[in-house]
Structure 1
């Protein structure tokens, strides 16, 4: 079924903070964001850093093999 969850399971919509932080993390390294903007609220920083790291084991292995 298209996007249906098992009975009793609900899924909250993604917060605007998470959506924005994920998009920033996909486009720019955190260091560039930190240097570009004078003040970034700590919760925003934490979410950008969270989304800056790979999610899957395959991606982690791929990035860790770069020299």
Structure 2
């Protein structure tokens, strides 16, 4: 296990596949005419958006964990 900085960079690297998947799902949603499929896609998008937001927050917290308050 590395430092918090190293862990933050792993989290950051894992954000890219999530962002790509979100793009794919949004494209699929835009082309969907089925209400049920649309509902499922929106749910999946919401889950991934939450994961991405959490990951970004964790990266920030890890990268700044040792910062001193001024």
TM > 0.5 fold call = no
Scaled to the shorter chain, the TM-score interval is 0.3 to 0.5
What TM-score, normalized by structure 1, do the two folds share? Answer: 0.33
What TM-score, normalized by structure 2, do the two folds share? Answer: 0.32
